[in-house]
Chain A
Amino acid sequence: MAIVDVNQLTKRYPAPGNSGEILTVVDAISFSIEKGEIFGILGPNGAGKTTTLEIIEGLTRADGGSVHVGGLDVANDPVGVKQRIGVQLQESEYFDHLNLSELLRLFGTLYHRSISPDELLKLVRLEEKASAYTKHLSGGQKQRFSVALALVNDPEVLFLDEPTTGLDPQARHNLWELIRNIHARGKTIVLTTHYMDEAEALCDRIAIMESGRIIALDTPDALIATHAPEPPVQRQSGTLEDVFLVLTGKELRE
């Protein structure tokens, strides 16, 4: 059963500067995310990943097409959708003078829930930082806290936008553990990443975006089988990174 259903979704923005040109950032894409899976969205910078997520999360309005989350139309009932999802944003900061427990409790009231901050902090192994401010957390701790904060409303779908960018290998693997842990509790997880090993290690299915379109969507194994370059002599081999570079080209993006 699909919990997120994206149908012919389109978003256009005026191009930067005053050229008057209109960019189609998301170009009539369609895909479904099944309940209980970890779904990865990959793509070079500027491919339209974040915009797609922002539309699903109800932050940005679509110019065309529709998005349903748990059967609710995001355009008609953004508040209903927001009640059911948890979101961790890229590079989000929090209020300076509230500690972790207070932030969790405050965000809980935004969903009209009274929550137990300790339980959530324990889940992300930050119980000892309950009375610390976020500015005193390390990069990995901050990301784990962001995940805890995204869980205050016990969401059906958890969105993680580049959750491990900028983390050291230990912190990354630690966060992977956490994501698997949350997945094991029956949550559907949607994540974007630039790390192919991360997508390969975590995701049940992967959509690869390029210039506002989805150019491939399958399980990591199937993507490798279909797209990985033929080795010269032996049987087909390669990693998901090879697949990514073959599909999106090696040109450097910003």
Chain B
Amino acid sequence: MQTILTLTLAQLRMYTRDRQSLFLSLFFPLMLMFAFGFMNFEGDGTTNVGVILTEGADTTVLEALQQDPLIEVTTGTEDEIHAALEDGEVILALQLPPEAPDTATSQPVDVLFNVSDAQRAFGAYQAMTTIETSLTRLERSLRGTEPMFDMQPHEVRGRSFSYINFLVPGLLAFVLMQLAITGSGFNIVEYKRKGILKRLFVTPLEPLNFISSLILMRLITILVQLALLLGIAMLFFDATLLGNPLLFAGFIIFGSIMFLSIGFALGGIASTQNAIILIGNLVIFPQMFLSAVFFPIDAVPGWLATISGLLPLSFVAHALREIANEGASLAQLWPDVIGISVWLAIGLFLALRYFRWSDAARV
């Protein structure tokens, strides 16, 4: 035990002295968090509409639109509004009808929009729905009719759920994976190549004690780094941790041990530093995209979503997200516990099968 603690402390000291790696391992996730955190995916919810003011046109429609909180109206001459449309400042432009609304006839409202790209065209069609709603309301008030259906919105979620709530647990899971895989696999290959492992094992050091110290040291650094990231996310982006913090930490430790075992397996399979970087990336990158750590994966076909859900990172990210955002308990997370356990077993099996303390047999 004394040996494990001394080795753990020595490795922690080495880790904190490697300023460059330390900086990068914190800088990268922070950069992602700030970049995504300040991005406004939902927008402010209003639609920018241009209205062309022509001499003698009736302004009843214009006034109705201006009163709609969901519509931001820009008025101007025909040329000005055309320019705004081309620059994308307004999503579509309306030509007001020449005469005051008359309940007996239907009046044309010309709509101009820019279809230079698919996204704009799509936005314009969405904006038309918003305007239609506004015009329907105007029509009802002019005709004095009551709506047949009256929608009554009720808030179901008691708090705001924003992108940052989705991002932070996923980001933590991703950082955890990277630190664990590079910390075990990459490190061990370097130690092997430099002859450090061999030198350690001409002393009476037991391999199990060495592995234990390595795992302990990684768990400490991962917990500290994730706590720091979560703290920053809570401070700057109102990230929440609704569930039990101990359960949250428990899943971080559980997930880290799983990725450490996978890292040791990769370190056993790869014999050179270059190989471990390639193999490591082969494991890290698909999970980065498929495990829904940064963005929800709604757009992928069903079979791919099934595979994605079975990736090791998916289980960790899902568990952390459920605990942080839904306050899930351990009992609700048993599929993730099983998933992580299976991957841990696979990692351990491969690590024991392929791991070697020294390079290939030498004559």
B14 near A95 with CB under 8 A, answer yes
With an 8 Å Cβ cutoff, the count of chain A residues facing the other chain is 33
Whether A92 and B14, one on each chain, are in contact in the complex, defined by CB atoms closer than 8 angstroms, is no
Interface 1/0 per residue, B86-117 and A, CB below 8 Å: 00000000000000000000000000000000
Interface assignment of A23: CB less than 8 Å from any CB of chain B: yes
List of B residues within 8 angstroms of A23 by Cβ = 363
Cβ-closest 3 pairs across A and B? A93-B194, A97-B17, A97-B14
* Interface contact A59-B201, CB-CB below 8 Å: yes
**CB pair B205 A110 closer than 8 Å:** yes
Contacts of A153 in B (CB 8 A): 203
Q: Which chain B residues numbered 1 to 51 have a C-beta less than 8 Å away from chain A?
A: 2-3, 6-7, 10, 13-15, 17-18
Q: Does B200 interact with chain A (Cβ within 8 Å)?
A: yes
Partner of A14, one of B2, B205, B361: B361
Contact of A111 among B17, B194, B204, B358 (CB under 8 A): B204
Which of A13, A51, A102 contacts B13, CB < 8 Å? A102
Residues of A within 8 A of B199 (CB): 87, 89, 92, 94
Chain A interface (Cβ < 8 Å from any Cβ of B): 13-14, 23, 25, 46, 48, 50-51, 57-59, 79, 82-83, 85, 87, 89, 91-98, 102, 106-107, 109-112, 153
Distance between B359 CB and nearest chain A CB, rounded to angstroms: 12
Chain A residues whose CB sits within 8 angstroms of the CB of B200 once the complex forms? 110
Total B residues in contact with A, Cβ cutoff 8 Å: 26
B159 at the interface (CB under 8 A from A): no
Q: Are A57 and B10 in contact (CB under 8 A)?
A: no
| Interface residue B76 (Cβ < 8 Å from any Cβ of A) | no
Q: State how many angstroms separate the Cβ of A19 from the closest Cβ of chain B.
A: 14
A137 to B358, CA, bound (A): 25
Identify which of B2, B18, B195 contacts A92 (C-beta below 8 A).
B195
Residue of A nearest to B202 (CB): A87
Q: Say whether B202 contacts A106, CB under 8 Å.
A: no
Cβ A93 vs Cβ B205 within 8 A: no
A32 and B287 alpha carbons, distance in the complex (Å): 58
Residues of A within 8 A of B2 (CB): 109, 112
Of the candidates B7, B201, B203, B205, the one having the most CB atoms from chain A within 10 angstroms of its own CB is B203
Contact across chains for B363 and A110 when beta carbons are under 8 A apart = no
In the assembled complex, the CB of B91 is this many whole angstroms from the nearest CB of chain A, namely 56
Q: Given A82-B203, A94-B199, A110 and B3 touching (CB < 8 A)?
A: yes
- The answer to whether B10 and A102 touch across the interface, beta carbons within 8 angstroms, is yes
